[in-house]
Amino acid sequence: MYTLSTCPWCKKTKKWFTENEIPFEFVDYDLESEESQAKIEREMRLKGSEMAFPWILIGEDLVIGWNPGRYAELLGVKNSR
């Protein structure tokens, strides 16, 4: 998961994963070095996406933005919060 440290939608996404007890890893793009940011940008382009946050890769599926219904669907979560 790539996020921005100041993005309210990114914070909501991290909270959703936490509340649903789904382990996740994230990187706050804006707090990374220029070298790391360039690497993240390359990964995003390789997946055919734009620079948009939150950027969540679930298996081979990419979800861009706040979309708890799609997260739940891809993760098989029922009664998500």
Distance CA 56, CA 45 (A): 14
Coil vs helix vs strand at 63:
strand
Exposure string of 32-70, with b = 16+ CB inside 10 Å and e = fewer, is eeeeebeebeeebeeeeeeeebbbbeeeeeebbebbbee
For 2-75, CATH gives 3.40.30.10
Q: Rounded to an integer, what distance in angstroms lies between the CA atom of residue 64 and that of residue 57?
A: 9
Per-residue pLDDT for 79 more than 80?
no
- The domain spans of the chain are 2-75
Q: Model confidence over 18-69: pLDDT tens digits?
A: 999 999 999 999 999 999 999 999 999 999 888 899 999 999 999 999 999 9
| Predicted pLDDT of residue 81 | 67
